[in-house]
Amino acid sequence: MTYNLRAGTMVPRMAGLGRMLLMLSPRRAVARQLFDLHLAHFFHTGLPVLAAKELLVKLRKKTGYSYVNCKKALEKFDDIREAEAWLHEQAQKEGWSKASKLQGRQTKEGLIGLLQKENSAVMVEVNCETDFVARNVKFQQLVEQAASATMLHLQGTRDQLSTYAKCLLKSNELAELRVGPDGSLLRDQLALAIGKLGENMILKRAVWVSVPERLFVGSYVHGTIPEGNPLFSNMMFGKYGAIVVCSPSDESQKSDFADLGWRLGQHVVGMAPLSVGCMEDEPGGESETKMLAQPFLLDPTISLGHYIQPTGISVLDFVRFECGEDTELTEDN
């Protein structure tokens, strides 16, 4: 409602006109009071206008939902926790509804996400329809949630290791993992992301690798999204990723492990080997599929085996992910 200064009556007007009244000095103070009364009608809580506005801002900042939906929630509930719960419930319903409608649409884009903690590493693939969505922070949050959930789910087995362990999770297994302080399922987080971003998405796969202290894990991600977002300080994102399990000798320089692991990961991404092979394999050409016999990516004049021989490092295993690839082929290998 706004005040008709000539007629001396209250008449309904648009909020935009209320703002215009604020510009009409010397009657600005009256207009301001009446405009605030108009805003107060947005809420049924009976709170002062300033408090109601602060509550709306707080709810929006905490949940990330739109102004309209947050306002609707506060109209329904006096308690901000109840309003937040209602917002999540509505978003979940909307997300699942949209997920059902979009099911079956092609999802060839997306991201590989890699999370490494000490002697363990997780690599996940989450797919979407367009590269535009893959660059959205909300999509990247879903990738991070998938990686963190996988790490949490499998990390409890690490203390029992006598040698390295590798576990591959398929789409249906990944969807049932729990994430976050509320223990929500990843499939529910997937539905929320679909609802917000409006594209079909798939939690495609994840792999967890962990090694005892005497071994180390190398990792590499190619096509990395520009860094700098504090939300993902421990994550790497890209279109290709690799994890390499290495065994050093007693003479190996521990200070070189991180750099060497990075280079071996680069080689796996670039040369796409299908097996490790052995040091006795004869060096092959560009079509060679055994890793140690392949021309080294950074120096094709020597094989990878010849490159690592002076370091005393042995390659035990590796995993390579390429966004959008045929997973049946990679799983068979």
DSSP state of 4: E
Torsion of CA 309, 218, 208, 117, to 10 degrees: 140
**CA–CA separation, 235 vs 115, rounded Å?**
5
Is 13 a residue whose pLDDT tops 50? no
**CA–CA separation, 64 vs 256, rounded Å?**
43
Cβ atoms within 10 Å, residue 324: 15
Can you give the pLDDT at residue 160? 65
Can you give the pLDDT at residue 43? 47
CA distances from 50 to 17, 153, 201, 234 (A): 20, 45, 40, 39
For CATH 1.10.8.10, list the domain ranges present in the chain. Answer: 2-101
Higher pLDDT, 36 or 315: 315
**What percentage of the chain carries pLDDT values higher than 90?**
48
Order of strands across the sheet with 165-170?
Answer: 165-170, 202-210, 120-128, 109-117, 235-238
pTM score > 0.75 for this model?
A: no
CA distances from 101 to 15, 96, 128, 165 (A): 36, 9, 15, 39
Residue 300 — very low, low, confident or very high, per pLDDT cuts 50/70/90?
A: very high
Mean pLDDT in residue range 281-305: 96
For residues 283 and 295, is the Cβ–Cβ distance under 8 A?
yes
**CA–CA separation, 46 vs 91, rounded Å?**
26
pLDDT tens digits for range 158-214: 666 678 999 999 999 999 999 878 788 898 889 888 888 889 999 999 999 999 988
Asked if CATH classification 3.30.479.20 holds for the domain at 109-332, the reply, yes or no, is yes
Higher pLDDT, 251 or 22: 251
**CA–CA separation, 32 vs 18, rounded Å?**
8
Residue 56 — very low, low, confident or very high, per pLDDT cuts 50/70/90?
A: confident
CA distances from 133 to 11, 146, 151, 187 (A): 46, 17, 25, 18
Is 230 a residue whose pLDDT tops 90? no
Q: What are phi and psi of 260, to 5 degrees?
A: -65, -40
Residue 21 — very low, low, confident or very high, per pLDDT cuts 50/70/90?
A: very low
Can you give the pLDDT at residue 330? 52
Higher pLDDT, 159 or 82: 82
Residue 76 — very low, low, confident or very high, per pLDDT cuts 50/70/90?
A: confident
Please name the residues in contact with 155: beta carbons below 8 A apart, sequence gap of 6 or more. 117, 120, 210
For residues 219 and 116, is the Cβ–Cβ distance under 8 A?
yes
For CATH 3.30.479.20, list the domain ranges present in the chain. Answer: 109-332
Can you give the pLDDT at residue 47? 52
Can you give the pLDDT at residue 289? 97
**CA–CA separation, 155 vs 121, rounded Å?**
10
Residue 118 — very low, low, confident or very high, per pLDDT cuts 50/70/90?
A: confident
Can you give the pLDDT at residue 96? 53
Higher pLDDT, 84 or 267: 267
Residue 313: closest CA among 238, 244, 236? 244
Q: Which residue type is seen at 53?
A: K
* Whole-number average pLDDT of the chain: 80
Mean pLDDT in residue range 3-13: 40
CA distances from 11 to 16, 37, 178, 292 (A): 14, 13, 53, 82
Mean pLDDT in residue range 73-100: 72
Residue 322 — very low, low, confident or very high, per pLDDT cuts 50/70/90?
A: very high
Longest dimension (CA), the chain: 99
Higher pLDDT, 78 or 212: 212
The CATH number assigned to the domain with range 2-101 reads 1.10.8.10
